[in-house]
Amino acid sequence: MVSLSTALLLALSTTVSAFKAGASGHSAKYSIVPGFFKQSDNSTDAKTFDYHDNLGLNDSLTWTEFKQQIDDLNANAELGVSYKVLYYARHGEGWHNVASDFYGDAFGCYYTNFETDGNMTWGPDPYLTEKGIEQAKNNSALIKSLIKDDFPLPQAFYSSPFTRCADTLNYTWYDIALAPGYATPVFKEVIREVLGGGTPDLRRDRAYLEERYPSWDFEANFPFNDTLYSPDWRETSAGLEWRGRFFLDDMFETEESTFISATSHGGIGTGIMAAAGHREFSLVTGAIIPMVIKREAKLDFTPVQIDLEGTPGPYSANVTACPASLSYTTLPASLASTVYTLGADTTGLPVVTVTSVVTASPTSA
């Protein structure tokens, strides 16, 4: 059901799709509703927190009570106020994560500009490792185990346009909610990883995604090629927060569902959390954390639009070389010559059909 306030805001706002055009003012305020999840609480130590433990739900709540309380919040909300539950997932381990651990500090300032060392391939758009696939399948088992407790399944699924995210989403939700006629994931450019400055964050084209996930949708105006990548600059944390706010504006204005899954990355995750007023909370690969987000919007709300069309702006910084103190082995020129090409295999992918469904929610409330 679309509330009156949402309908008014939809009517007043322009279409938010590809994030370009000039910045404009906005008057929506986001905050995290405390009391529902341990990860929202400052006293929870992110290092020892394990999302496998009921996704962090407060021990004094059942999922049935949780869902009822969220429904009550929305039903009783004042004009302009609404609540959504975002199940935010970081992709499982990818080859760039392995390479980053292997090379340490030199990965981000040197190796990331290459695609491979001849041993591992981390860009463009690296694949999940076997461990990454297992993390996602394990999350699928976790979600299935919560269904008997009345866990409110997401009604909408968003994916970053990177293979590591789409595959994580698929392995997690495939036989829970992705059967034809139930939910259809949507590729959203706005939740891609930190822009620029490293081949793991250079994406493939739309045709590749269409071939790998033929039944999935794309947001309006999804660019065919990666027009936002530059090897010369990298988005800053201020840029990530700005983009996180854009994502929240888009989600609250265009999404009717209350429970939403987004499978994305660590970097843009910090931006979304900052924009939502969530405490800082670093996510291990494969982690899923729910957030209860409150939005208070004035009726003169104007969506934030940002200009990141391939040029450096206030939200990007020049890529810098490694400090002289850092020693690393330079890669042979033969490997350097392959930098920034999209050479990875896009063929031979299995065409899959959903054969069994555990349970599923309708696509809208």
Contacts with ligand NAG, residue ranges (CB under 6 A): 34-35, 38, 41-42, 52, 58, 60, 98, 102, 119-120, 135, 138, 142, 167, 170-171, 174, 212, 224-225, 279, 317-318, 349-350, 352
Distance CA 177, CA 181 (A): 9
Closest approach of ligand NAG to the CB of residue 93, in Å: 10
Distance CA 175, CA 359 (A): 8
Handedness of CA 242, 245, 249, 250 (dihedral sign): positive
Distance CA 200, CA 194 (A): 10
Please return the burial class of 73, using the count of CB atoms within 10 Å of its CB with bins 0-12, 13-18 and 19+: middle
Locus of tokens 């992918």: 349
Identify whether 91 is a catalytic site residue.
yes
Please state the length of the chain.
Answer: 365
Distance CA 294, CA 286 (A): 25
Q: Judged by CB, which is closer to ligand NAG: 38, or 203?
A: 38
Closest approach of ligand NAG to the CB of residue 337, in Å: 18
Give 219's contacts (C-beta < 8 A, 6+ positions apart).
17, 186, 187, 188, 189, 190
Closest approach of ligand NAG to the CB of residue 5, in Å: 26
Which stretches of 199-286 are assigned E, i.e. beta strand? 217-218, 233-235, 259-264
Asked if 74 and 258 count as a contact pair (C-beta separation under 8 A), the reply is yes
Q: Judged by CB, which is closer to ligand NAG: 311, or 364?
A: 311
Q: Judged by CB, which is closer to ligand NAG: 170, or 258?
A: 170
Question: Which member of 115, 189, 193, 253 is catalytic?
Answer: 193
Q: Judged by CB, which is closer to ligand NAG: 52, or 294?
A: 52
Asked if 193 and 267 count as a contact pair (C-beta separation under 8 A), the reply is yes
Identify whether 193 is a catalytic site residue.
yes
Q: Judged by CB, which is closer to ligand NAG: 208, or 247?
A: 208
Closest approach of ligand NAG to the CB of residue 53, in Å: 8
Closest approach of ligand NAG to the CB of residue 218, in Å: 13
Question: Which residues carry out catalysis?
Answer: 91, 193
